[in-house]
Structure 1
Amino acid sequence: MAVKNEEIYPNCQTTIRTVEIGGLTKSQLILKIQQQAILMNEFGKMLFADDKFKTSDSKYIIETVELTVQDLGLAKGGTITQIFSKANQLDLKLCPLELGPYLRLEYLDQPEGEINSRQQDQAPYGSITVASEIPTEDDKFPKGFYLRRIAGVLWLRGYICDDQHVWEPSDHFIFVKQSGPVAE
């Protein structure tokens, strides 16, 4: 019996979002997050407080692509290095770190995630990880942000993982879509 190959990006189901980012200071961004009643975990707060988290003075627009690890061609999952490498091969770029907070402010209708105690050391069900440059090699410092909705509450959370952690094929990531020449 022949097994059909899974479709991989760009020939798979994706969610495309256009997001305006930049133009706010860290303080202004935190205030907007608080005004929307968005919660942050301690890792998210650590990212915000660190000098490696920079905000752009001017506004700009990027197009993002949300897909699963499997959509990148990693049917058995992969490490963060494998995921980022595969995305790069498929002409997807890493997001600026500041995208996480701006995306959270725009994506207010995220579906509910479940609280599942069996998912320890795994991305929570319903979460979306923003694939961004890793600020430091320190495994105890957050690697980036992820978005989640729990019991009706929106979260902007930071996450930690080491180079050995294997993400599940069903885990969702957001990348920046490469802009190419427009075909006529």
Structure 2
Amino acid sequence: MTQHTSKVKSVTKGQEKQWDRMGQDFAASYKGGSRKLELAKGHPDVVTRVHRLFDELAAERELMLPIEERGPFMTVRIGTHQNVKRLRKTLTDAGNRISDWGSDILNRITLAKKPEDVNIVVVTVAELGFPNGATRAHIYEKALSMGLGLLPAEVGPQLRLQYPDQPLGEWILVGMEPITDSDGYLKVFYVEHNGNGRWLRGSYGYPGHVWRSDRRWAFRCK
């Protein structure tokens, strides 16, 4: 999975020196022998593949950290469209699909008046301390107590638009103030990638609705 962040800090000289030493240690402890080591070093894709490994290891390590210490999963820009009609067209022109429930509450959101970058973190219900699942009210309460914040509703469609490489089978609920739909029911956005495409959908927003422990929620982070 690719993290989408607006700013990437350059590697420091100190980190370069640390990796120089670690590289020497890795080479010295390699059990495959000098010939394989030289072959690997001379591979035309060695840099690209090592960098990809760094990304994979960094993503795994990030998930091992306490939620409060994690970097942003993604930075989403809001306030990029003048009205919902244009945002909707941009979504569908990019090949995204919008469910009936998602479309209903999309018509009811308020867009930011100017561009703003919003950092989000994605956590499971279990990671928030609920191994047996929890209600939306309890999920929000725990997230807020950990220093996270609710997201503007516009993050829902913008997340869908700005996350084209969402892994197949993944879906992320948006931690937002629920919106009352045309039938009077509370709904929240979620983004999903399934066999039928990339979706912006709406789901149950009642405080007492129970969510499974493996469900993933997006919240605002610093």
TM-score by length of 2: 0.65
In the aligned structure 1, how far is the partner of 2:180 from the partner of 2:187? 7
Determine the C-alpha separation between the residues in 1 that align with 2:183 and 2:142: 22
Contact preservation (8 Å) 2:105, 2:181: no
Matched residue of 1:46: which SS?
Answer: helix
2:131 to 75, 86, 96: 75
Residue 129 of structure 1 corresponds to 173
Pairs within 5 Å for 1:134-149: 134-136=178-180, 141-149=185-193
Question: 1:10 deviation in Å?
Answer: 2.8
Is it true that 1:110 corresponds to 2:166 in the alignment? yes
Structure 1 residues 55 and 73, CA, compared in 2 at 3 Å: closer, same or farther? same
Q: Which runs of 5+ in 1 are unaligned?
A: 1-5, 114-125, 180-184
For the Cα contact (< 8 Å) 1:79–1:164, is it kept in 2?
A: yes
Partner Cα distance (2:182, 2:84) in 1 = 23
- 2:103 paired with 1:45: yes
Compare relative contact order (CA 8 Å, sep 6+) and give the higher one, 1 or 2.
Answer: 1
- Match of 2:47? none
From 80, 86, 98, give the equivalent of 1:23.
Answer: 80
User: 1:10 corresponds to which letter in structure 2?
Assistant: E
Which residue identity is paired with 1:155? W
Rg (Cα) greater in structure: 2
* 1:160 corresponding residue in structure 2: 204
Query: What whole-Å deviation, never above 9, does each CA across 1:104-141 have from its counterpart, x for those lacking one?
Result: 1111111112xxxxxxxxxxxx2110110122499952
RMSD of equivalent CA atoms: 2.4
How many angstroms apart in 2 are the aligned matches of 1:142 and 1:21?
23
Runs of 4+ with deviation above 4 angstroms: 137-140
Task: Give the residue type in structure 2 aligned to 1:16.
Answer: F
Q: Is the 8 A contact 1:44 1:142 kept in 2?
A: no
> Shift of the alpha carbon at 1:165?
2.1
Percent sequence identity is: 29
Structure 2, unpaired ranges of 5+: 1-63
- CA deviations 1:12-47 (Å, max 9, x no partner) are x78611111113121110110011111111111110
For normalisation by structure 1, the TM-score amounts to 0.78
* Shift in Å, 1:150: 1.2
Structure that is richer in helix per residue: 2
Q: CA deviation at 1:84?
A: 0.2
Within a 5 Å distance, the mapping from 1:93-108 to structure 2 comes to 93-108=149-164
Conservation of the 8 A alpha-carbon contact between 2:186 and 2:206:
no
Cα distance in 1 for partners of 2:71, 2:197 equals 24
